[in-house]
Structure 1
Amino acid sequence: MNISVRYFASIREAMGQGSETLQTSATSVGVLREELMARSAAAAAALAHGKAVRMALNQDMCQSDALLKAGDEVAFFPPVTGG
């Protein structure tokens, strides 16, 4: 299935792009994260499980067990702070 993936802030820098459309067999956001991490060392470092990474599915915050369907949009971003 095809899904859209968006990257923000430091994750965008590490991935070298802000967005992409992927063909994936991932069934959840967590499985998609694993697939992305397997693509390169930079992706593995940016999306590593020990790092604080927020995820959104169709612009709603989600957990790694959120289920994917064709046409979904998934976003990965670091926690946002302000001041």
Structure 2
Amino acid sequence: MQLRFFASLREALNLSQETLELPATVVTVGDVRDCLRARGGIWAAALADGRALRMAFNQELASADTVLTDNGEVAFFPPVTGG
């Protein structure tokens, strides 16, 4: 699975993208977030449940319940604000 991290999340993790082989138990976008959060440290803080965070699957906004398909891309980014 291709993972992408944007804006302040990319800065916090010091990583813009990663390719990750996910366990078979990871079937939704929310599962990906949980899997990454389980790494602990900055991962747990940056992807914490209470943190405002948007997710996308294959370049479309997604919810935690969005089901993954093979060779997909999951992106994480903070909400966008305008002014």
Which TM class, normalised by the smaller chain length?
A: over 0.9
Bigger proportion of residues as strand: 1
- The structural deviation recorded for 1:70 is 1.7
The aligned residue for residue 70 of structure 1 is 70
Structure 1: unaligned runs, 5 residues or longer: none
Equivalent of 1:16 in 6, 14, 20 = 14
The aligned residue for residue 52 of structure 2 is 52
Runs of at least 4 residues off by over 4 Å: none
Q: Are 1:42 and 2:42 counterparts?
A: yes
**Cα offsets for 1:46-72 (capped at 9, x unmatched):** 111101000000000010010112200
Q: State the identity as a percent.
A: 51
RMSD of equivalent CA atoms: 0.8
What is the TM-score normalised by the length of structure 1?
A: 0.93
The aligned residue for residue 32 of structure 2 is 32
Structure 1 distance, partners of 2:7, 2:80, is: 9
Q: What letter is aligned with 2:44?
A: A
Q: What letter is aligned with 1:54?
A: R
Q: Are 1:79 and 2:73 counterparts?
A: no
